[in-house]
Amino acid sequence: MADEEKTTETAEAPKPKAPRKRATAKVEKQHDPLQVPYFDAAGEQQGEVALPKTIFAERPNVAVMHQAYVRQMANARQGNASTKTRATVSGGGAKPYRQKGTGRARHGSIREPSMKGGGKVFGPKPRDYTQRMPKQMRRLALRSALSQKAIDGQVRVIETFGFEEPKTGAAANLLETIGFDNTTLVVLPAPNLVVSRSFENLATSKIVLARNMNIRDLFTYTYLLLAKDSIELLVENFQRRSRVGGKHDHDHEEEAAE
């Protein structure tokens, strides 16, 4: 009987499960934000082009971008608003009515701040709203904004503009062919009257030179269309500068660019 019980227990014992093989998860290759579409003059895509890391690989600094934007908006203010106090407003030399017996509050001039047409209390005066910001911080803000554009996939590069004469319709067709469905900032390496006249009547686009790149335009316009020759100027003007002994080491900068 004991042998039969042992045999039954052995038969009913569950078999050990084979170890499961770990499923290897397929990792999708992420697209490099520095690889952006490249178009010819007709608006046809000709592959991709690599953006320089010295400009478009900056870690976006939100605080510096905000400070640069506020500074630019403040510096654009004229600051010529002016009001007159009771000392400068004309009239009001005589006492308007007697001191007592009228039942009204006593007044010594019709140009008091409490009277209609009187002077203003603490009103605006001409002033300078200019804010200062170190050049390195301004460049950091621009690199941060440009890098954010690249991360969001809003940067396109075009070889050249093939406009023979100013044509607003040709500029609109070019933007539509490239696939822009929102506002566009077009960056040129040098002034070009034909291209500027073609885009200036489009409410959704603006022309800016590479050396005049600013944080306000980058925040205002969604897409960035770069002429190929303007990329070198962006690197030349806005890349991070290295200092040796308190002065710019240009030789070191050239080696870093290479």
pTM above threshold 0.95: no
Quickly list H helices, 39-134. 53-56, 62-75
Give the model's pLDDT for residue 175: 94
Give the model's pLDDT for residue 255: 41
Distances 229 to 21, 128, 235 between C-alpha atoms, Å: 54, 38, 11
Give the model's pLDDT for residue 14: 59
Which two structure tokens, joined as six digits, stand for 247?
């002065």
Task: Give the Cα separation of 107 and 114 in Å (integer).
Answer: 10
Residue ranges of the chain with per-residue pLDDT less than 50: 23-25, 27, 246, 249-258
Give the model's pLDDT for residue 257: 42
Give the model's pLDDT for residue 33: 87
